[in-house]
Amino acid sequence: MTETGTAVAPGLLEVPDTTKQGRADSVAGKLLLLIVALLMCIGIIVVYSSGAGWAEEKFSDPQYFLWRQLTFAVAGIALIVLVGAVDYHIFMKTSKIVLFVSLGLLALLLLLKVAHVIHGAARWLGFGPFKFQASDLAKYAIIFHFSRLISEKREYIKELHDSYYPLLVLLLAVVALVALEPNFSTATLIALIGFSLMFIGGVNGKHLLSTFSLLIPIAAVFAIAAPYRVYRLATFFSSDPKDMSYQVRQALLGLGNGGLLGLGIGASKQRELYLPLSYNDFVFVIIGEEYGFVGALVVLTLFAGFFICGIIISKNAPDLFGRFVAAGITIAISLFAFINIAVASHLLPTTGVALPFISYGGTALLFNSLGVGVLVSISRYKRRHEALVAAAPAEAEGREQ
């Protein structure tokens, strides 16, 4: 039995507990913090550089994005430290509540859209500057609750009715609500995260393949149901550069301008009102233009390091819940980073996916910081637990005296 009371199946999923692995876990946690701090620093610099012109145009203050990004970065670091000091099993105990809250918020958004309170895409909740995307909460709700269910269902994880169907229904409910916002790209990514967790958790591969064979045609129909999505797909697959969308043309020009070493800090030509959302969805273009191939490679290396650290933390987690949560968070953040960079490089059709820790956006940065805090908590749990066990006899002896 694990410390959380779930049975651990023998074999590859059995979690070893050795001093050597504990040290590796601790080193990975510390390196992860350094990587995230560097990514946040890069984000502050690049958001200021890429957003100054837009901030001047919209808010008459070229430093508007700078101070907001700096504020949320500091808040993100504080959140990482706070969550990292908390026992991550609290997310196991509250996973069902978080999931149903996220489902309720997603449903509320659609109701507000039907009632014409919200016009256009129904993605944001909150007032004034304090807004967040309900899909960000739903993404972590899926990670936490799936990790709990998969760890609890270990003995019968391959069964169809008692294991796979409950997981699939929950995942499809979240994905459908997000897709109807409409936010097809985020819905697809949440689906990939959920299916990845099921695959890692040992769900029957035939069940997954059967589901994919049904969902892929449905997703394809949904993707071409909106004219703007058809346009994005058409421009992406077109062999004529003239048919590329304005954003893609400007993004490729920016990356090409950077060369090997870049134009220098603040020297981007595309940022000056040529490339829309240069401080958000296409922030990687500004990195490539101002810091060149070398700067882009540094960012790619940092995200690769993040992925490796996350996998090490997952591999050495003290129980199955921690293992699946660490894997889910690592996959989620790394997947969003890959999609953003691939879109900016014209390797994938244009989507509205931000670059974690770097793109402008306060609440998204805070949600990602929450995920990093959980990873840190998992990496520290063994040492914290061992310290508590060692301190218990001393406290008992003190009371006897």
pLDDT band for position 395 (cuts 50, 70, 90): low
Quickly tell me which residue has 């889910």 as its tokens. Answer: 328
Q: How many domains does the chain contain in total?
A: 1
Q: Considering only residues 401 and 356, tell me which one the structure prediction assigns the higher pLDDT.
A: 356
**Per-residue confidence (pLDDT) for residue 138, from 0 to 100:** 96
Q: Considering only residues 384 and 286, tell me which one the structure prediction assigns the higher pLDDT.
A: 286
For 330-381, the DSSP string reads: HHHHHHHHHHHHHHHTTSS-------TTTSS-HHHHHHHHHHHHHHHHHHHH
How confident is the model over 10-30, as pLDDT tens digits?
Answer: 333 444 444 555 567 778 999
3-state secondary structure of 261: coil
On whether residue 392 sits in a domain, the answer given is no
On whether residue 400 sits in a domain, the answer given is no
The residue-averaged pLDDT of 344-361 equals 90
Q: Counting beta carbons within 10 angstroms of the beta carbon of residue 30, is it exposed (0 to 12), middle (13 to 18) or buried (19 or more)? A: middle
Range of the domain at 62: 22-383
State the Cα–Cα distance between residues 318 and 380, nearest whole angstrom. Answer: 10
The residue-averaged pLDDT of 158-169 equals 93
On whether residue 167 sits in a domain, the answer given is yes
On whether residue 320 sits in a domain, the answer given is yes
Q: Which H helix or E strand runs over 83?
A: helix 64-84
**Per-residue confidence (pLDDT) for residue 20, from 0 to 100:** 55
How confident is the model over 364-390, as pLDDT tens digits?
Answer: 999 999 999 999 999 998 666 556 555
How confident is the model over 198-209, as pLDDT tens digits?
Answer: 999 999 999 999
How confident is the model over 32-76, as pLDDT tens digits?
Answer: 999 999 999 999 999 998 888 778 888 888 888 899 999 999 999
The phi and psi torsions of 158 (rounded to 5 degrees) equal -85, -5
Q: At what angle do helices 184-201 and 320-344 cross, to 10 degrees?
A: 140
Give the lowest-confidence range in 8-22, 111-125, 176-190, 196-210. Answer: 8-22
On whether residue 394 sits in a domain, the answer given is no
Q: Which residues of 265-320 form beta strands (DSSP E)? A: none
**Per-residue confidence (pLDDT) for residue 6, from 0 to 100:** 43
On whether residue 118 sits in a domain, the answer given is yes
Q: Which H helix or E strand runs over 124?
A: strand 124-127
On whether residue 372 sits in a domain, the answer given is yes
State the Cα–Cα distance between residues 133 and 121, nearest whole angstrom. Answer: 11
Q: State yes or no: pLDDT of 112 exceeds 80.
A: yes
State the Cα–Cα distance between residues 118 and 100, nearest whole angstrom. Answer: 22
Question: What single DSSP character describes residue 4?
Answer: T
On whether residue 245 sits in a domain, the answer given is yes
The residue-averaged pLDDT of 156-172 equals 94
State the Cα–Cα distance between residues 51 and 277, nearest whole angstrom. Answer: 8
Q: Fill in the amino acid letter for 145.
A: H
The phi and psi torsions of 53 (rounded to 5 degrees) equal -65, -45
Q: Which of 153, 132, 139, 80 is nearest to 325 (CA)?
A: 139
Rounded to the nearest integer, the mean pLDDT of the chain is: 86
Give the lowest-confidence range in 228-237, 268-277, 310-319. Answer: 268-277
What are residue 126's DSSP bridge partners? Answer: 131
Question: CA dist 239 to 187, 206, 230, 255, 335, Å?
Answer: 28, 37, 16, 19, 27
